């Protein structure tokens, strides 16, 4: 028979960046944690691929499992911490097995929570165990708690933010240095800030995983990663970043989730945001998340979205909740009560747009372009030709008033076919918060 002051005994699968960070934090703050939750948190078992690998932390007192899934069956464990990664495979098998064995689960795995979150939340609810995932969104920023606990009494209408530190770092350096995307990405990889395969980060997939989780939490609907409109930052040029600056904006990779009477919009794409806005001020590897509650108003949290220390901080906060007996529903409402996601198509989005055209500098070119905008009832706020080069190509930059995405994409498809337009038109959405 166990008593409430007995240590919480955990097994950690994955001893990479986050796993070793979690071990280090638990060992450093053992006494502090005990004083805060009335019991110790003891690492009873660990698993990783290579037992002989040096990890810079001492886990010799813990039982070693070559097979992470087998660790879920260890009868001594109260909770399993999944820090392997990946939406499927070992991570998913481990979490399913741990829940099946009646053990609490803590994970930092946004891909798994975005793609399997509902299934796992239902299983955890049926088994009467906690499924905690604070570290999966924005690393060290307690954004899950902000929405689920802090805004528990609010209707939430919109959540948005900078959810990927790698992309924000690249866009920040491009703005500061005037360099192009490929050049800055290569440097970030050489410095170890970006992965050797950076596609999840720079193509918006990582941010979309996180946004899908936040959407479910904020609106009480099923996690619907497939409904997120995703664009990355590869096509953002130094020229657009410079023009954005002249217009009072910064370009950020934003995740935006908004609920309307018609449904739920989820989108990840580069945005122009007012340079002086709180979200516009989030630079470098930092993340920032804004949640809008009907009684609390707009709340913003900013901090480190990745790295061993910040991510371990979120993992251990979840373990402390389990040790204290705090048991909030996984996605803020009972998993069985999650509503269908009611996704809105991107075509129905409305907003202002920045357009940059590369055109031959000849009489009548602007007239052809504006005639197409007139046909789609798109109203131009400002138009500026950059430079003068008769017979040569020049940039024409336009800001258009709020319009429907469907009208804008159709108009740009027609503009792209004009003989005088020599490159694919650039379009970046503007968010005036
Ligand atoms: P790493 O690649 O650094 O570590 C992964 C660990 O998993 C390694 O220790 C590896 O073992 C182990 N592993 C891989 N396959 C198996 C397997 N079949 N059985 C047992 N162990 C296995 O990943 P991170 O620590 O960076 O990320 C872990 C999770 O945290 C991911 O879901 C990630 O998305 C998430 N996350 C990461 C953040 C970060 O800053 N890194 C921030 C927020 C979330 P071995 O060492 O022996 O190869
Ligand atoms: N790769 C992510 C980022 C960190 O660049 O923000 C893990 O979520």
207 in Cβ contact with 255 (< 8 Å)? yes
201 pLDDT tier (thresholds 50, 70, 90): very high
Give the mean pLDDT of 79-93. Answer: 97
The residue from 210, 250, 252, 417 that is catalytic is 210
Closest ligand to residue 207's CA: 2
Instruction: Specify the range with the lowest mean pLDDT, choosing from 41-55, 137-151, 380-394.
Output: 380-394
Give the mean pLDDT of 13-27. Answer: 97
pLDDT value at residue 192: 78
pLDDT value at residue 194: 82
195 pLDDT tier (thresholds 50, 70, 90): confident
**Smallest CA separation from ligand 1 atom 16, residue:** 49
**Smallest CA separation from ligand 2 atom 7, residue:** 306
CA of 325 to the centre of ligand 1 (A): 27
- Give the CA distances from residue 203 to residues 58, 268, 282, in Å, rounded to whole numbers and listed in that order: 37, 9, 20
Q: What is the pLDDT of residues 122-143, one digit of tens each?
A: 999 999 999 999 999 999 999 9
Give which of 280, 289, 362, 343 is closest to 139, Cα–Cα: 289
Give the mean pLDDT of 84-104. Answer: 98
Whether the pLDDT of residue 2 is over 90: the answer is no
Task: State the residue for tokens 């370009």.
Answer: 251
| Beta bridge mates, 292 | 158, 298
CA of 108 to the centre of ligand 1 (A): 9
CA distance 32 to 40: 9
210 is catalytic: yes
CA of 53 to the centre of ligand 1 (A): 14
Looking at residue 222, the DSSP 8-state letter turns out to be -
Question: Pocket residues for ligand 2 (CB within 6 Å)?
Answer: 164-166, 201, 206, 305-306
CA distance 250 to 280: 6
Whether the pLDDT of residue 376 is over 70: the answer is yes
* Chain mean pLDDT for the chain: 96
| Residue 306 Cα: closest atom of ligand 2 | 4
DSSP helix/strand/coil, 332: coil
Whether the pLDDT of residue 424 is over 90: the answer is yes
Whether the pLDDT of residue 4 is over 90: the answer is no
CA distance 222 to 276: 34
**Is 193 exposed, middle or buried (CB count within 10 Å of its CB: 0-12, 13-18, 19+)?**
buried
Looking at residue 136, the DSSP 8-state letter turns out to be G
CA distance 257 to 60: 45
CA distance 356 to 358: 7
CA of 206 to the centre of ligand 2 (A): 7
386 pLDDT tier (thresholds 50, 70, 90): confident
CA of 20 to the centre of ligand 1 (A): 10
Whether the pLDDT of residue 1 is over 70: the answer is no
Helix (H) or strand (E) holding 76: none
Whether the pLDDT of residue 58 is over 90: the answer is yes
Give the mean pLDDT of 24-45. Answer: 97
Q: What is the pLDDT of residues 164-184, one digit of tens each?
A: 999 999 999 999 999 999 999
Give the mean pLDDT of 225-251. Answer: 97
136 in Cβ contact with 113 (< 8 Å)? yes
pLDDT value at residue 33: 97
Q: CA torsion 411→412→414→419, rounded to 10°?
A: 140
CA distance 141 to 162: 12
Give the mean pLDDT of 246-269. Answer: 97
Helix (H) or strand (E) holding 141: none
| Residue 109 Cα: closest atom of ligand 1 | 32
| Residue 169 Cα: closest atom of ligand 2 | 5
Instruction: Specify the range with the lowest mean pLDDT, choosing from 55-59, 212-216, 279-283, 383-387.
Output: 383-387
Query: Residues of the chain with pLDDT > 90: what percent?
Result: 93
CA distance 59 to 385: 64
Whether the pLDDT of residue 185 is over 90: the answer is yes
Q: What is the pLDDT of residues 354-374, one digit of tens each?
A: 999 999 998 999 999 999 999
Query: Residues of the chain with pLDDT > 70: what percent?
Result: 100
pLDDT value at residue 390: 79
**Smallest CA separation from ligand 1 atom 3, residue:** 16
pLDDT value at residue 428: 98
pLDDT value at residue 387: 74
| Residue 15 Cα: closest atom of ligand 1 | 9
């Amino acid at each position: 028979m166990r008593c409430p002051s007995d240590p919480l005994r955990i097994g950690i699968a994955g001893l990479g960046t986050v796993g070793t960070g979690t071990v280090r934090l638990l060992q450093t703050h053992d006494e502090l944690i005990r004083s805060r939750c009335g019991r110790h948190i003891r690492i009873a078992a660990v698993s990783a691929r290579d037992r002989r690998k040096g990890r810079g932390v001492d886990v010799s007192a813990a039982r070693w499992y070559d097979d992470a899934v087998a660790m879920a069956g260890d009868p001594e464990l109260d909770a399993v911490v999944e820090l392997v990664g990946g939406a499927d495979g070992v991570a998913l098998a481990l979490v399913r097995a741990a829940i099946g064995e009646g053990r609490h689960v803590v994970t930092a795995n946004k891909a798994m929570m975005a793609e399997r979150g509902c299934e796992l939340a239902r299983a955890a609810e049926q088994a009467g165990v906690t499924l905690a995932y604070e570290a999966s969104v924005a690393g060290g920023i307690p954004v899950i708690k902000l929405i689920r606990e802090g805004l528990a009494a609010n209707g939430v209408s919109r959540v948005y933010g900078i959810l990927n530190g790698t992309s924000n770092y690249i866009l920040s350096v491009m703005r500061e240095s005037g360099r192009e995307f490929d050049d800055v990405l290569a440097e970030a990889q050489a410095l170890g800030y970006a992965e050797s395969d950076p596609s999840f980060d720079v193509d918006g997939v990582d941010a979309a995983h996180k946004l899908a989780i936040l959407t479910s939490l904020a609106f009480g609907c099923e996690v619907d990663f497939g409904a997120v409109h995703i664009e990355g930052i590869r096509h953002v040029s130094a020229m657009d970043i410079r023009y954005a600056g002249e217009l009072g904006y910064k370009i950020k990779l934003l995740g935006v989730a908004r609920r309307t009477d018609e449904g739920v919009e989820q989108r990840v794409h580069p945005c122009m945001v007012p340079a002086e806005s709180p979200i516009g001020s989030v630079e470098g590897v930092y993340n920032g998340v804004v949640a809008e509650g009907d009684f609390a108003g707009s709340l913003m949290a900013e901090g480190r979205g990745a790295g061993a220390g910040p991510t371990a901080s979120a993992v251990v906060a979840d373990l402390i909740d389990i040790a204290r007996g705090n048991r909030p529903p996984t996605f803020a409402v009972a998993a069985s009560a999650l509503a269908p996601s009611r996704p809105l198509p991107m075509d129905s989005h409305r907003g202002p747009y920045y357009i940059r055209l590369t055109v031959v500098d000849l009489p009548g070119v602007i007239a052809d372009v504006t005639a197409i905008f007139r046909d789609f009832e798109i109203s131009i706020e400002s138009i500026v030709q950059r430079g003068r080069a008769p017979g040569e190509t020049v940039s024409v930059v336009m800001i258009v008033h709020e319009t429907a995405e469907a009208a804008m994409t159709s108009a740009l498809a027609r503009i792209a076919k004009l003989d005088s337009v020599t490159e694919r038109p650039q379009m970046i959405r503007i968010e005036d918060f």
